């Protein structure tokens, strides 16, 4: 079975400052890795994913995540956050069969002006 740990439940950050959200996973088999974002009063949206290939993946709105197999991590970073990045972020993993996702507990990011 897989598990996902998000080490920070809340991350306050000032606008235009960098942010890093930590995600570690455990699995006995290879996994696919995902970051989902949930804006206030909205549903979950896929932010970015790692399936194979380059270990650094990027989203269209400036987030990036790096898959580190040796450390079993998939940390999410953004060099400069905006107020609109205020949301809850979930790290998730899946294995091939069925694509069901195993989520971490989430990290709430509050961007302050």
Partner 1 sequence: GAGVSQSPRYKVAKRGQDVALRCDPISGHVSLFWYQQALGQGPEFLTYFQNEAQLDKSGLPSDRFFAERPEGSVSTLKIQRTQQEDSAVYLCASSLGWIGLIYNEQFFGPGTRLTVL
Where does this chain bind partner 1 (CB under 8 A)? 4, 6, 32, 36, 42-46, 49, 51, 90, 92, 96, 98-106
Closest distance of CB 54 from partner 1, Å = 15
> Closest CB to partner 1 among 98 and 113?
98
What is the smallest separation between the CB atom of 46 and partner 1, expressed in angstroms? 5
d(CA 52, CA 40) in angstroms, rounded, equals 31
- Residue (17 or 51) nearer to partner 1, CB: 51
* Beta strands 44-50; 107-112: pairing state: unpaired
Task: Give ∠ CA 72-62-100 in degrees, rounded to 5.
Answer: 45
> Rounded to an integer, what distance in angstroms lies between the CA atom of residue 29 and that of residue 78?
29
Q: Which is nearer to partner 1, 64 or 103 (CB)?
A: 103
Burial of 99 (0-12, 13-18, 19+ CB in 10 A): exposed
CB of 44 to partner 1, least distance (A): 4
């Amino acid at each position: 079975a897989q598990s996902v740990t998000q080490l920070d439940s809340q991350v306050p950050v000032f606008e235009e400052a960098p942010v890093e959200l930590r995600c570690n996973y455990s699995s006995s088999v290879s996994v696919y890795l995902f970051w989902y974002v949930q804006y206030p009063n909205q549903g979950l949206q896929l932010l970015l994913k790692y399936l194979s290939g380059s270990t650094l993946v990027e989203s269209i709105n400036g987030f990036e995540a790096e898959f580190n197999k040796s450390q079993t991590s998939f940390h999410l970073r953004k060099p400069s956050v905006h107020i609109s990045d205020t949301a809850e972020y979930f790290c998730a993993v899946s294995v091939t069969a069925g694509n069901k996702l195993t989520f971490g507990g989430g990290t709430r990011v509050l961007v302050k002006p």
